């Protein structure tokens, strides 16, 4: 079956499946209601989310929302992994990076952006404690002392803004309370990995409370550089972050929360490895060793950032007035890597591994970055049939980006320099309302209008290609702006107290984007506004007397003028293009259940079928000897990408966990295992044999003992337990360079809660 007919066929079958699941859930619930004698005492805890900027039970939100909390969140992050551990751990969510622990690129339902420029716009928004983290470096802030993570799938442009057409990932920190509490967690593992995180909080007096959280992690270098002969030369890092929150609540109408946080990182950037892909296949070369590399350039990475927010709420009998003021600043960022992934060049032997046509050693920095945001909101207090909220939002960002090239063969001297400066201003007004038609039938809708404007300038002062007559260029200017609207409408019908079905329509957009990375190019490209129309239907159910939760969603979306980034290619230059149309359809399933009082399991499954629909869209393919599978384009050296799936968009994602506890003495021995799978992906917009990532399956295991009512715990853990080695992305302009997933790690961990 070809791609044109497969998507509707899958979509139709999923609609049948959702109807069948609804009937099954209803029958199961009715059967349980007749049985007044529960088989067991344990039931699932309710999950509270703020997907609609109000606290709601996740089962009552008329949209696809998945939450990660408690022990599951702690286990998956064992050993202080960075944010990429979430990839494939939630349905339809992928995260990857060509910068290592910074600059994560998020994809939801196959919709993301592969651009590695520090000015890149992403269609998945990250919101940390109510403040959007716009720059991609901000999105890598460490995960610690969180209350929950929420994944909001599909367009979220009504309440959350302009760059949310794919969805939102929301991090919510544990808040200060009047009760003294906290924890300390220390682990030690492979590569002398030492991780500490902890928090302490409680009352300062009757009105004020505070919570201080800290995170420290370090790992030794563990990768040998065979070119220099240095053992344990690369792969390590040292990172620290902290967050201070102070809350005011005197029990009357006014409350306030002050948040100050910061991060510092010093370590290794992404390790690019030349010619690790066998030509004509997407397999690793036979002699590949993850512990070795052979490069003659430098590799380093530094990040410092600071941010804060003030959240104010004033409540009357009928209304709540809210204000969120946020600022974020990357005070220092510099990342440098040997991008050709090897040593020497064919014209400067010795060289290798494999063919090195030319050297490529580059760095990117943020000498200046500042973001300010302000949201004001008025909302009814959630009583009665009709509830609403109105708000206004302002966003401002100033950013300067340096791009630098180095001549490796001349002793790593700087031979190219370009910079970008951009100022972004956005203002928006939004409204949202709920109406209970009856006790069982509820409607919800919202509308937002946004105006976005950018002022951009870029200039190359020194060209790395001056030896062939290419010199400075610029300054070049761009000033795109647009006024757009977003909306959503949903309807929910509660079959009974435990089962509901819903439908949702939504329109969102992404503001115009600019790609002005002039180090190896001579033009600034601007992508016009993209818009998305999405519809989804779902069932949310609690089964077996609250011992099981099953949520299922089916969706379809169409993106007009999608902003795509043609990354790399023969000229190593990123170019923005707009595809006439992109279509996608699929489903998501999220489930959790107590199979016995001692055994709890979770499972997530998603299917995403994406397709670019633009017969005339042609881009430049690889310049590094790959086998291109797309037809030739109208201009020599280009290929047509019509019908291709989106990059980094696996069709299938599956995850599962299982926890079994055994009471022993005054405590409990437990075994916790988790697994995540994604099917194969294209690395780029074009299709090629070599730059296709194989299926990836990773698992983890944690065995431990907790006592003192669960307040103390000792455990051993293993991540990537099978030591799976898979190419997760590539560099396509020079040779068959790639980079791989994280190796197997293990450790021991002790946690004390108080």
Residues in Cβ contact with 9 at an 8 Å cutoff, skipping those fewer than 6 apart = 1
Q: How far apart are CA 64 and CA 605, in angstroms?
A: 13
Neighbours of 447 (CB within 10 A): 17
User: Can you give the pTM of this predicted structure?
Assistant: 0.94
Query: Which of 722, 687, 604 lies closest to 151, judged by CA?
Result: 604
Three-class HEC string of 469-535: CCCCEEEEEECCEEEEEEEEEEEEEECCCCEEEEEEEEEEEECCEEECCCCCCCCCEEECCEEEEEE
Neighbours of 8 (CB within 10 A): 13
Alpha-carbon distances, residue 572 vs 97, 468, 517 (angstroms): 18, 16, 10
- Bridge-based pairing of strands 292-293 and 223-225 is parallel
Give the chain's domain count.
1
pLDDT of residue 382: 76
Mean pLDDT over 199-207 rounds to 97
- More confident: 664 or 16: 664
Instruction: For 489-508, write each residue's pLDDT tens digit.
Output: 999 999 999 999 999 999 99
Instruction: For 71-98, write each residue's pLDDT tens digit.
Output: 999 999 887 789 999 999 999 999 999 9
Q: Is the pLDDT of residue 573 over 80?
A: no
CB-based burial of residue 264 (10 Å sphere; 0-12 exposed, 13-18 middle, 19+ buried)? middle
Domain that holds residue 46: 3-753
pLDDT of residue 34: 44
Q: How far apart are CA 195 and CA 546, in angstroms?
A: 36
pLDDT of residue 570: 66
CATH number at residue 112: 2.40.170.20
Q: In what order do the strands lie in the sheet with 223-225?
A: 230-234, 223-225, 292-293
Instruction: For 125-139, write each residue's pLDDT tens digit.
Output: 999 999 999 999 999
Instruction: For 725-752, write each residue's pLDDT tens digit.
Output: 999 999 998 899 999 999 999 999 999 9
Mean confidence (pLDDT) of the chain: 92
**Tokens standing for 304?**
């410092």
On whether the CB atoms of residues 340 and 359 are closer than 8 A, the answer is: yes
pLDDT of residue 561: 97
Q: Is the pLDDT of residue 30 over 60?
A: no
């Amino acid at each position: 079956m070809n791609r044109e007919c497969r998507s509707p066929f899958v979509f139709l079958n999923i609609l049948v499946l959702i109807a069948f699941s609804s009937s099954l859930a209803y029958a199961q619930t009715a059967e349980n209601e007749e049985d007044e004698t529960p088989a067991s005492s344990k039931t699932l805890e309710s999950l509270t989310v703020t997907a609609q900027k109000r606290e709601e039970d996740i089962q009552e939100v008329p949209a696809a929302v998945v939450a990660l909390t408690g022990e599951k969140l702690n286990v998956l992050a064992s050993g202080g992994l960075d944010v990429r551990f979430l990839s494939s751990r939630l349905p339809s969510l992928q995260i990857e990076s060509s910068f290592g622990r910074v600059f994560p690129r998020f994809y939801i339902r196959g919709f993301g952006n592969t651009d590695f420029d520090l000015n890149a716009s992403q269609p998945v928004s990250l919101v940390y404690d109510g403040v959007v983290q716009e720059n991609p470096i901000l999105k890598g802030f460490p995960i610690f002392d969180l209350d929950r993570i929420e994944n909001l799938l599909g367009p979220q442009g009504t309440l959350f803004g302009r760059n949310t057409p794919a969805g939102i990932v929301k991090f919510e920190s544990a808040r200060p309370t009047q009760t003294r509490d906290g924890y300390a967690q220390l682990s030690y593992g492979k590569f002398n990995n030492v991780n500490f995180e902890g928090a302490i909080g409680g009352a300062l007096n009757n009105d004020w409370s505070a919570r201080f959280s800290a995170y420290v992690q370090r790992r030794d270098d563990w990768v040998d550089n065979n070119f220099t002969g240095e053992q344990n030369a690369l792969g390590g890092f040292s990172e620290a972050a902290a967050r201070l929150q102070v809350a005011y609540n005197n029990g009357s109408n006014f409350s306030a929360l002050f948040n100050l946080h910061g991060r510092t990182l010093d370590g290794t950037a992404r390790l690019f490895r030349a010619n690790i892909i066998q030509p004509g296949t997407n397999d690793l070369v036979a002699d590949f060793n993850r512990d070795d590399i052979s490069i003659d350039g430098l590799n380093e990475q530094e990040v410092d950032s600071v941010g804060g927010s003030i959240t104010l709420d004033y409540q009357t009998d009928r209304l709540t007035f809210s204000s969120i003021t946020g600022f974020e600043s990357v005070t220092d960022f510099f990342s440098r890597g040997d991008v050709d992934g090897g040593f020497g060049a064919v014209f400067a032997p010795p060289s290798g591994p494999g063919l090195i046509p030319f050297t490529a050693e580059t760095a990117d920095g943020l000498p200046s970055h500042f973001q300010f945001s302000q949201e004001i909101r008025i909302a009814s207090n959630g009583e009665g049939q009709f509830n609403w909220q109105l708000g206004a939002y302002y966003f401002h960002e100033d950013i300067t980006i340096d791009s630098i090239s180095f001549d490796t063969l001349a002793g790593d001297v700087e031979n190219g320099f370009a910079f970008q400066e951009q100022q972004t201003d956005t203002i928006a007004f939004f409204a949202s309302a709920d109406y209970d038609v009856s006790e069982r039938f509820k409607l919800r809708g919202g509308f937002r209008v946004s105006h976005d404007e950018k002022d951009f300038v870029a200039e190359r002062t020194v060209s790395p290609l001056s030896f062939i007559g290419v010199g400075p260029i610029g300054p070049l200017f761009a000033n795109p702006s647009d006024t757009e609207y977003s909306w959503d409408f949903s309807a929910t019908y509660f079959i009974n107290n435990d089962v509901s079905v819903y439908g949702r329509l939504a329109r969102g957009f992404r503001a115009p984007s600019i790609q002005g990375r002039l180090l190896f190019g001579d033009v600034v490209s601007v992508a016009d506004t993209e818009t998305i129309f999405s519809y989804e239907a779902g069932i949310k159910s609690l089964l077996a007397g609250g011992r099981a939760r099953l949520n299922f969603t089916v969706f379809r979306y169409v993106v007009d003028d999608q902003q795509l980034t043609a990354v790399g290619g023969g000229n190593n230059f990123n170019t923005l293009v707009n595809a006439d149309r992109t279509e996608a359809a699929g489903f998501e399933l999220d489930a959790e259940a107590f199979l016995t009082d001692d055994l709890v399991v979770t499972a997530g499954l998603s299917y995403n079928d994406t397709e670019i629909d633009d017969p005339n869209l042609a881009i430049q393919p690889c310049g590094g000897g790959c086998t291109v599978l797309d037809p030739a384009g109208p201009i020599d050296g280009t290929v047509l990408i019509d019908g291709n799936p989106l990059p980094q968009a696996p069709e299938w994602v599956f995850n599962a966990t299982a926890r079994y506890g055994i009471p022993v003495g005054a405590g409990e021995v437990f075994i916790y295992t988790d697994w995540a799978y994604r099917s194969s992906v294209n690395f780029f917009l074009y299709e090629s044999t070599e730059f296709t990532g194989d299926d990836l399956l990773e698992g983890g295991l944690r065995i431990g003992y907790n006592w003192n009512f669960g307040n103390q715990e000792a455990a051993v853990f293993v991540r990537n337990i099978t030591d799976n080695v898979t190419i997760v992305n590539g560099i396509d302009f020079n040779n068959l360079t790639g980079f791989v997933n994280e190796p197997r790690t293990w450790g021991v961990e002790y946690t004390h809660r108080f």
